Structure 1
Amino acid sequence: MIRKTVLSAVAAAALFASAPAGAHFQLIYTPEVNLQKAGNVPFRLIFWHPFENGHAMDMGQPEEFYYIHKGEKTDLIDSLKKITFKGAHNEAAAYEADVKIKRNGDYILVATPAPYYEESEDIYIQQITKSFVNKGEVPTDWMEPIGLKTEIVPLNKPTNILAGSTFTGRLLSAGKPVAGAEIEIEYMAAEPDMAENKAGTPKAEPMPGGAIVAISDANGYFSFGIPKSGFWGFAALGSGPDKEHEGKELSQDAVLWVRAYDVK
């Protein structure tokens, strides 16, 4: 997994980096992000390699889990229950939650996981993650920054992106644009089976050439062509202001998940 900051700002572009095909990605997952009725929505918080249906990592108790709806924050930390998630190759600690959705509009789900120690790199990783659901097809605040230490703000509505179109985001750290940052891009080829808390059947395979990467420009913007329907994740590596945890390097990443659909 590539964890360095590119010092020079370059135009946003899709690149291939010389790294392993799969990347660590924190998930806030529910299979249906466009809701028509009020009710409880099931979520899974999993730290995983979803493109290759690869190794799953143990999650500690998240520091925060909440949603923002029309500018109001609702704490969800007490809704979390620890589960075991079964990947293709191993099992790992993860979390589930049922989230009550009532009113129309956008719900920005946020999880700040406990820092994860990556022994192979001798660093800690903390992926501050945003995901979205919408009720009633009423857009509200999906495009607004919400004041995270680091975050990717979508410039395309994240719950119904057209497969084959271009997605653009803006990377912020402490509220300011980040230039020249590496953003790893991940397809959720294997979506979690919600009933059995295990990996589903992969719908694609990682391509040769290593991780897919885009670079933020001088104003923090990056773009990527979405080639396939499903869930796509973007992780800006080391973009957060916190750089150390328990005496070791901390990669504090901004993660964003979006949902793309084919035209029928």
Structure 2
Amino acid sequence: MTLKLIAAAMTALLPYTAQAHFVLPYADDTQIARPGDVPLALVFWHPFDNGHVMDMETPQAFYMIHHGEKTDLMNRLEPTNFQGAENTGAAFRASFPVKRSGDYVLVTEPVPYYEPSEDKYIQQLTKVVFNRNQLPTDWMAPVGLPTEILPLVKPYNVIAGSSFTGQVLSEGQPAAGIEIEIEYVAAAPDIDSFAASAPTVQPMPGGSLVAISDENGYFTFGVPKAGWWGFAALGSGPATEHDGKELSQDAVLWINAYDME
């Protein structure tokens, strides 16, 4: 496998949109210590700069895949509000059940969101992988979304200071030349209070961090810091229109990085 294109670029945007929109299914850790229900915050937000919280509608689908079996989780969504630094937005408390060892791939298929500043819709098909007892089972397998990012590095225990490589797929095929926005959760959600915590770092100057997928759909990012990192492949999906307006159907993948101790 040859990675011919590794790009990092900045976009010059207004302060309100300096960092990217990201659907964030957040838990305190990707390593699950014991069986039981794992609580989540499901928020549509700008987590790098603790920016504007977008109102999130009930997703079209919310489920997990464990040992190749799909479990619907729609009945575990509880509407609530999330308090960011700028505003309060509609969000969801959620959970997923953990019993056996292995990977738990959590998938959110949101309703397309209308962004007035761009006069278009955004739909972020989002994956995050959790694990119990260090048994890898499902993290490397596609889940069959119209577009998704396939990790080539186990996504729930990346070493800070190493690199992460993913492959953008559209309808199951590699997607070349896709712009990938990269986000850091600088202000982690507090699941008890359902509010953003104080940010640990400031956003990078120059706007969103960006990479481009190569001719085989691959991209690589050097992970500089422990914590949650998100990748959004913009417009990588086959759907391009919703309610008569442009639709950006994005593939989103979250990973968790740790410092070596």
Q: 2-side partners of 1:10 and 1:262: how far apart?
A: 28
Answer yes or no: is 1:187 the counterpart of 2:184.
Answer: yes
Alignment match, 1:221: 218
Question: What is the aligned counterpart of 1:112 among 97, 109, 112?
Answer: 109
Which residue of structure 1 aligns with residue 124 of structure 2?
A: 127
Counterpart in 1 of 2:25? Answer: 28
For residues 43-86 of structure 1, the C-alpha deviation after alignment (integer angstroms, 9 at most, x for no partner) is 11100000000000000110000001111100001110101000
Contact in 2 for aligned 1:10/1:215 (Cα 8 Å):
no
- Counterpart of 1:3 in structure 2 is none
Q: Distance in 2 between matches of 1:191 and 1:36?
A: 20
SS of residue in 2 equivalent to 1:138: coil
- Tell me: CA distance 1:79–1:86, structure 2 relative to 1, closer, same or farther (3 Å): same
2:167 alignment partner AA: R
The 5 A counterparts of 1:1-264 are 11-19=5-13, 20-264=17-261
Residue identity in the other structure for 2:176: A
Q: After superposition, what is the alpha-carbon deviation per residue over 1:203-247, rounded to whole angstroms, capped at 9, x for unaligned?
A: 110111211001000000000000000000000001111111111
Offset at residue 151 of structure 1 (A): 0.2
Alpha-carbon distance in structure 1 between the residues aligned to 2:104 and 2:9: 31
RMSD of Structure 2 on Structure 1 (CA): 1.1
Give unpaired runs (5+ residues) of structure 1. Answer: 1-8
Identity %: 58
Letter in 1 for 2:23: Q
1:135-175 C-alpha deviation (Å, 9 max, x unpaired): 11111110111110100011111110000000000000110
TM-score, normalised to structure 2's length? 0.96
Q: Secondary structure at the match of 2:57?
A: coil
Contact 1:10 1:216 in 2 (8 A): no
TM-score, with length taken from structure 1: 0.95
Q: Report runs of 4+ in structure 1 exceeding 6 Å deviation.
A: none
SS at match of 2:70: strand
C-alpha deviations, 1:88-118, integer Å up to 9, x for none?
Answer: 0100000111211001000100001111100
The question of whether the paired residues in 2 share the 8 Å contact of 1:125 and 1:253 is answered with: yes
Between 136-145 and 220-229, the greater mean CA deviation after superposition: 136-145
The alpha carbon displacement at 1:11 in A equals: 1.2
- Determine the C-alpha separation between the residues in 2 that align with 1:12 and 1:217: 8
